[in-house]
Structure 1
Amino acid sequence: MTTLQSAGVLLFRRTPGLEVFIAHMGGPYWSGRHERAWSMPKGIIDHGEEPRAAAFREFEEEVGMPAPRADYVDLGTIRASSAKVLRVYAAETPDFEVDELRPGLFELEWPPRSGVTATFPEIDEARWVPVAEARELLVRGQVTALDRLEQRLATGGDG
């Protein structure tokens, strides 16, 4: 099995509790689901692309605006699923807000085996949530990124 390489951006702020910026995945498979249906903005690394560049490209494609300028740190690679690894870049961005979500779109045959192609948003909601809530909302494979972020902050890393 080929392992897919992906990269993502994990924004955080301390308000005073730790919050992270996550997005609800769009499309019919995630519609109506809440827990384990959220993700940090992320996506597949193109052939020859640097992981950091891919993370920022994917953030902009999914959210509809560039990732904020900040001091990003590499939280390393996590096993997001049996077939995917995810490189995570985190930054503290206390003033980041999305005025209007303008997500990228993807096409999917829907309903399955219907021969009809429909267009869906990559994400349908994005917001700041307390890290404890994010632990329940994020797909399981991404929770490790929260552990790494909290560990880095606890050991004196600024993000």
Structure 2
Amino acid sequence: MAEAFSAGILLFRRGKEGVEVLVGHMGGPFWARKDLGAWSVPKGGYVPGEEEARAAAGREFVEELGVPVPEGEWIALGEVEYGSGSKRKTVQVWAIEADLDPAVIEPGTFEMEWPPRSGKTAAFPEIDRVAWFGLDTAGEKLTKGQAPFVQRLAELLGG
């Protein structure tokens, strides 16, 4: 059984260039200078039995992006397990077809000790920017553990 559980929502839209998905670049000092593998589906943790995964996905979308979940059909993309040992994680994602202007995003924040071992606490955005990417590009930018969700969405949409 996995040690941690997360749930999220992957928005997608269809345009002249094909299907695009909205993903967020992870905030904080560790990710600041990284690009490939440093983007994430808007998601967050929950405790099974205390909260339903779908409810957590909606809550985390609002917390991370600062906007309501757009109206639309929730399309289950299933679960992915990644990591090992005590760092094992199960992530469950739904896709919703909707357009969202990245300029309206008001990300939530988290606090951590920074610089390390300084005793000082600093606040950082959970996601420091969001962008729409085509499926191939998104698959490269997402963390390895989350990239399968883009492939599943492509398969569900017929390509």
Q: How does the TM-score come out when normalised to structure 2? A: 0.91
1:2 CA displacement = 5.1
Asked if 1:30 is matched to 2:31, the reply is yes
Indicate the residue corresponding to 2:74 in structure 1.
72
Alignment size in residue pairs: 154
Alignment-mate amino acid for residue 11 of structure 1: L
Structure 2 segments unaligned to the other structure (5+ residues): none
Alignment counterpart, residue 114 of structure 2, candidates 103, 110, 122: 110
CA–CA separation in structure 1 for the residues paired with 2:110 and 2:140: 26
Indicate the residue corresponding to 1:14 in structure 2.
14
Q: Which runs of 4+ in 1 moved over 6 A?
A: none
CA–CA separation in structure 2 for the residues paired with 1:67 and 1:46: 21
What percentage of residue pairs aligned between the two structures are identical?
Answer: 47
Indicate the residue corresponding to 1:120 in structure 2.
124
Contact 2:2/2:90 (8 A) holds in 1 = no
Indicate the residue corresponding to 1:129 in structure 2.
133
Indicate the residue corresponding to 2:89 in structure 1.
84
CA–CA separation in structure 2 for the residues paired with 1:40 and 1:79: 15
CA–CA separation in structure 2 for the residues paired with 1:101 and 1:132: 24
Q: CA RMSD in A?
A: 1.5
1:125 CA displacement = 0.2
Asked if 1:42 is matched to 2:43, the reply is yes
CA–CA separation in structure 2 for the residues paired with 1:100 and 1:19: 18
Q: Match of 2:128, SS?
A: strand
Contact 2:135/2:154 (8 A) holds in 1 = no
Q: Match of 2:101, SS?
A: coil
Q: Match of 1:54, SS?
A: helix
CA–CA separation in structure 1 for the residues paired with 2:134 and 2:83: 24
Contact 2:10/2:95 (8 A) holds in 1 = yes
1:98 CA displacement = 3.5
In the superposition, relative to structure 1, how do residues 80 and 69 fare at CA in structure 2: closer, same or farther (>3 Å)? farther
1:132 CA displacement = 0.9
Q: Match of 1:134, SS?
A: helix
Alignment-mate amino acid for residue 72 of structure 2: A
